[in-house]
Amino acid sequence: MTRALSLVALICWAVSIGLAPLKAQDQQTLRVGLQSLPPSLFNPYRNTGLPYVYTWSAVFDGLTSIDANGTLQPWLATSWKRIDPVTWVLELRDDVTFSNGKPMTAHAVVAAIEFLTSDDAKSETVARMLRFLESARVLDSHTVEITTNRPTPLLPRFLPQLYIVEPDYFADVGLEVFAQAPIATGPFIVEEIRPERITLRAFKTAWRSPKVDRIELLSLPDMATRTMSIGAGSLDVAVGIGPDEVNEIVADGGNKFSWRDAAIWAYHFIDDVHPAFADIRVREALNLAVDRQAIIDALLDGATAAATQPAPELVYGFNPELPPIPYDPDRARALLAEAGYPDGFKMVIEATAGSSANDSAVNLTVAQYLAAIGVEMEIRTVNVNQIIRNVVEGTWDVDAFGLHYNFEPSVEALRALDTNSCLWRHPWYCREAVMPLIAQAERELDPAKNLKLRQDVMAFYRNDWASLFMYQAPRFAGSVAGVTGVEVVNNFILYDQMTLTPN
């Protein structure tokens, strides 16, 4: 089908489901195309990852925020102080109201923590990630004391994911009803939920006051559809597209936005599956065989940086002493020969297509680099849900897989090791030698020692060649010409900053 015919078909499809080009009276409705919408709707404690946070950041706020440089910032909480190893006191903003008009006070923080530490929250992801929470109590209307069940020196870095909800309403209706009609402090209010569309209206008196009247969040799983919908006039912003797609939008007169996640794309070796991976020389050889910078320049628009370790530079605990990983195929071949694989070997990996920027092309290019040193990499393309299922259940039938070391939302070096270590119930990488170091880093109260311990953990992973480390994950979005203010920080879309000017 030609591009022109594809565009005609897209417009017909868009009109059929109500995605016609904007009319003049609708110019303050901003239409945003996402890969998917949360299956759990607006249950703010069910998940912490993409693409769900892209939706929730229009409605919810956490107590703190972490900026694009990895620096902890105030949000609903204005300041915090550690009183003793397990006690913290937080001061809250006194100018915040919920979307039903009630003031946001310390009572709301206490109620959220009481829920997350209750039996009712045992199945919720955020409750498991904040399992160190013990209790909370009101000190005054905008001061709250939080107690942990063990020393948690980086507690404020975990609080972006503690979304604060209107406590009386939440208690009255329960989580299931709340998820369909949430009341929180963010810049938009949920107006309507449909299977592939969520309509939000502006919460004009929010502390983060929005600049547009309405937002429609649309589930469009296909990247090409999101891209072409910009040209067809049925979308204003397309999130989660690739560099080629966003440059196509720019060529048609639109805008380009890009950012980097607090995540490293990597290919993970599954312990005890392929005998070659038990030899550190093989793991190092695979890392030396790939020209990361060439991939970044050719396939990712030069929009990111090559990995030197599991963490990108903005993560607290990144080790700046670790050198770049060189591209050295001759050394890679020599290492394989020393390890007993002079003719290489075969391996099978699982990888996704369309879940990160240009991932299919990256996978194929990595396979070509490995083939040059004699390693045949068969790629089995699976969807994200299959990868997640294998991670959770340990149901791998391959030798390796592609997945991010994801450090959001806390943006600190131990965050990704909840899964990428012996801590995980079905680990693919488990080295008992590093576990005491991880445990010490979790509890060390001295800031300088705490940072150094995390850097030592990163050095262990790099020096053990735990994965085939690739690059910091880049993300791309495109928009029509009239959109400004598309800003995404650690998966949190600042919808209040977006503007839409009529063409």
* Angstrom distance (rounded) from CA 429 to CA 421: 5
* Angstrom distance (rounded) from CA 320 to CA 312: 10
Residue in 221, 273, 265, 261 with CA at minimum distance from that of residue 383: 221
Give Cα separations from 191 to 25, 99, 180, 224 (angstroms): 19, 12, 10, 28
pLDDT (0 to 100) of residue 337: 98
Indicate the SS3 state at residue 478: strand
- pTM score of the predicted model: 0.90
User: What 8-state DSSP symbol labels residue 440?
Assistant: H
pLDDT (0 to 100) of residue 354: 74
Mean pLDDT of the chain: 92
Length of the chain: 503
Cα dihedral across residues 44, 47, 51, 53: positive or negative:
positive
Residue in 36, 45, 56 with CA at minimum distance from that of residue 185: 56
**Higher-pLDDT residue of 25, 263:** 263
Cα dihedral across residues 387, 390, 395, 401: positive or negative:
positive
For 347, phi then psi, to 5°, come to -145, 155
Question: How do residues 350-396 score in pLDDT, each as one tens digit?
Answer: 998 877 889 999 999 999 999 999 999 999 998 877 888 898 899 99
For 24, phi then psi, to 5°, come to -60, -40
**End-to-end CA gap in the chain:** 30
Judged against a pLDDT cut of 60, whether residue 3 lies above it is answered with no
Query: 3-class secondary structure for 322-390?
Result: CCCCCCCHHHHHHHHHHCCCCCCCEEEEEECCCCCCCHHHHHHHHHHHHHCCCCEEEEEECCHHHHHHH
Tell me the pLDDT band of 19, cut-offs 50, 70 and 90. low
pLDDT (0 to 100) of residue 492: 94
Domains of the chain, start order:
3-59+186-254+480-500 (3.40.190.10), 64-172 (3.90.76.10), 260-473 (3.10.105.10)
Quickly list DSSP for 274-290: SGGGGSHHHHHHHHHT-
* Angstrom distance (rounded) from CA 122 to CA 405: 25
User: H or E element: which one contains 223?
Assistant: helix 223-232
User: H or E element: which one contains 216?
Assistant: strand 214-219
Per the CB < 8 A criterion, the answer to whether 256 and 478 are in contact is: yes
Residue in 51, 155, 59 with CA at minimum distance from that of residue 113: 155
